[in-house]
């Protein structure tokens, strides 16, 4: 993967992910969450890979997920999926390459997911955010998400936790 253009406001091209994108998506997700350098890193809280190729491939191929990628200079620099549920769609696998974070890629992905799911009649987006990361919760709040007050256990592999008892705060954004 070549280094993407890090210009802060070059609008990314956003499209639906395909099978050929799996390796690039896994790389972006693991760089964003499991290395130092990006403000979204969980490296100090959780070990192991955040994404595996088999899981990404399954999300691309099933009818429940909509996996979008953001590209700059023909390189994938971000991704985000929504998974349909009875009460809305849950955001997941939301990652931006650390070299272009804070450059509008995440916001563009979020808004495209919201636009597409609203067009399908989905009424709300849900997300789980690390309770111990107020800066992440604030980022989502600036994009219309509201904390519900509910928390749930960390959804990853418990064996990878570096901090016992990690919790996720549930946030929602109404689309309709």
Taking only the tens place, the pLDDT of each residue in 35-51 is 666 656 555 555 555 67
Bigger pLDDT: 8 vs 146: 146
Is residue 148's pLDDT more than 60? yes
Q: How far is CA 103 from CA 5, 27, 116, in A?
A: 10, 19, 22
- In tens, the pLDDT along 100-139 reads 988 999 999 999 999 999 999 999 999 999 888 899 899 9
Q: Please tell me the predicted confidence (pLDDT) of residue 49.
A: 56
Is residue 4's pLDDT more than 90? no
Strand partners, 147: 171
For residue 66, give every residue at least 6 positions away whose Cβ sits within 8 Å of its Cβ, in sequence order, or none.
Answer: 16, 81, 82, 89, 113, 116, 117
Structure tokens at 100: 């272009």
Q: How far apart are the C-alpha atoms of 51 and 101, rounded to whole Å?
A: 19
Bigger pLDDT: 132 vs 34: 132
Q: pLDDT band for 163, please (50, 70, 90 cuts).
A: low
Which H or E run contains 32?
Answer: helix 22-34
Strand partners, 128: 170
Domains and CATH numbers, the chain: 13-174 (3.40.630.30)
């Amino acid at each position: 993967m070549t280094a993407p253009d890090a210009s802060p406001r070059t609008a990314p091209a956003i499209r639906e992910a395909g099978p050929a994108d799996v390796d690039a998506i896994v790389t972006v997700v693991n760089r964003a969450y499991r290395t130092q350098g990006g403000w979204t890193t969980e490296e100090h809280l959780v070990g192991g890979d955040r994404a595996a190729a088999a899981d990404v491939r399954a999300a691309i191929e099933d009818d429940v997920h909509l996996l979008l990628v953001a590209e700059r200079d023909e390189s994938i620099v971000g991704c985000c999926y929504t998974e349909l549920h009875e009460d809305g769609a849950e955001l997941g696998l939301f990652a931006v390459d650390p070299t272009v974070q804070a450059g509008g890629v995440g916001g563009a992905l979020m808004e495209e997911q919201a636009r597409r799911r609203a067009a399908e009649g989905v009424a709300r987006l849900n997300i789980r955010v690390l309770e111990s990361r107020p800066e992440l919760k604030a980022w989502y709040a600036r994009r219309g998400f509201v904390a519900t007050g509910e928390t749930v256990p960390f959804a990853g592999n418990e064996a990878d936790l570096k901090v016992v008892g990690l919790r996720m705060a549930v946030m929602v954004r109404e689309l309709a």
